[in-house]
Amino acid sequence: MALVHDQDGKRLHVKSSLMGESLVSKTFIDQLDIAPQQRLYPDVAVMKIGGQSICDFGVKSLPEILKKIVA
């Protein structure tokens, strides 16, 4: 496992094929030697709501935020 210094010499990286890659890139994933992936729950979609939305407007805003997402 090779270690690589940045040009400024302040940071140290582990050299690998993952450097500078988007881990969700279709072309990158197709290059990997891994078993085909299968969704455990294909009918389920997950959406992450940032906590800032709730913190700024308070917990009372959550029902309105959910209504807009569902719509």
Average pLDDT, the chain: 80
Domain ranges of the chain: 3-34+42-70
In the block, residue with structure tokens 């010499």: 9
Are 14 and 1 in contact, with CB atoms under 8 Å apart? yes
Query: Is 15 a residue whose pLDDT tops 80?
Result: yes
pTM: 0.29
d(CA 40, CA 47): 16
Q: What is the pLDDT of residues 20-58, one digit of tens each?
A: 777 778 887 788 788 777 888 989 888 777 777 677 777
- Nearest residue to 52 (alpha-carbon basis) of 61, 43, 42: 61
